[in-house]
């Protein structure tokens, strides 16, 4: 999965310097939610590239402010971030669409979305585009009862062999898949390739195939 966090951090960092306020690196680290060490590294890089200038102030503080070159760089990063986000949205929507199209052809009884977040929202959209209405969202970590109208379940009891679980967990998909496999579920487990989940070699215990789920195939 593409990691946009570095670009977002740089955007937040440059945005925090737009007004040329007198501040400290500690204050900047709190504002941008990164370590003081990373603030220091970003400042050195930005000053070296001419994006930021610094002026000393009393009490060992500094006024950091963006140069015209810095504003241009920030605009470029925002455009890059949005383009990457749109590209990723299209990739996710396409892969989930392919999974749901196969499920539609196989006439699965029920579809459970495992994971709750942005990927789940995109998966719900893709499912409905292919005429599938997911039965529920599986998430053990929340006290909420519903997610965008879908019931949230915390146990996978009662699933049948012709049901399907589609992984939509974005933070720790590998952990979730490992947990589901350790539960020895008999239900088809479908994993989009962009999650880059590693599967165990096929064995008697798990009955899994390392090549199947990586391409959206069932375990």
Q: Do 118 and 193 share a domain, yes or no?
A: yes
% the chain with pLDDT above 90: 43
Instruction: Give per-residue pLDDT as tens, 173-219.
Output: 988 998 888 877 767 889 999 998 877 644 443 333 333 444 455 44
Q: Are 53 and 67 in contact (CB under 8 A)?
A: yes
91 shares a domain with 25: no
Asked whether residue 52 is domain-assigned, the answer is yes
- Give a yes or no: residue 98 inside a domain: yes
The mean predicted confidence, pLDDT, of the chain is 84
pLDDT at 117 over 80: yes
Q: Is residue 75 part of a domain?
A: no
Q: What is the predicted pLDDT for the residue at 209?
A: 36
Question: The whole model's pTM is what?
Answer: 0.68
Distance of CA 194 to the CA centre of its chain: 10
CATH classification of the domain holding 187: 3.40.50
Same domain? For 130 and 46 the reply is: no
pLDDT band at 109 (very low <50, low <70, confident <90, very high): confident
Its domain, for residue 25, covers: 5-66
Q: Are residue 193 and residue 138 in the same domain, yes or no?
A: yes
Chain mean position to CA 157: 27
Q: What total of structural domains would you count in the chain?
A: 2
Angle at CA 198, nearest 5°, toward 170 and 168?
25
Q: What is the pLDDT, as a whole number, of residue 203?
A: 40
Q: Is 147 helix (H, G, I), strand (E, B) or coil?
A: strand
């Amino acid at each position: 999965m593409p990691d946009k966090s570095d670009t977002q951090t740089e955007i937040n960092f440059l945005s925090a310097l737009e007004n040329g306020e007198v501040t400290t690196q500690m204050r900047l680290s709190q504002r941008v939610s990164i370590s003081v060490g990373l603030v220091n590294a970003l400042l050195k890089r930005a000053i070296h590239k001419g994006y930021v200038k610094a002026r000393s102030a009393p009490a060992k503080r500094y006024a950091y402010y963006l140069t015209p070159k810095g504003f241009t760089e920030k605009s470029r990063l925002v455009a890059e971030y949005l383009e990457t986000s749109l590209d990723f949205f299209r990739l996710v929507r396409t892969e989930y669409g392919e999974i749901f199209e196969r499920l539609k052809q196989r006439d699965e009884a029920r579809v459970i979305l495992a994971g709750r977040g942005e990927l789940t929202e995109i998966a719900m959209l893709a499912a409905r585009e292919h005429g599938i209405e997911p039965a529920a969202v599986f998430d053990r970590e929340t006290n909420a009862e519903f997610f965008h109208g879908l019931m949230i379940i915390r146990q996978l009891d009662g699933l049948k062999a012709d049901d399907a679980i589609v992984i939509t967990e974005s933070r720790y998909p590998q952990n979730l898949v490992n947990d589901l496999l350790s539960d020895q579920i008999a239900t088809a487990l479908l994993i989009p390739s962009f999650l880059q989940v590693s599967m165990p070699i096929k064995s008697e215990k798990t009955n899994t195939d390392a090549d199947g789920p990586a391409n959206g195939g069932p375990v």
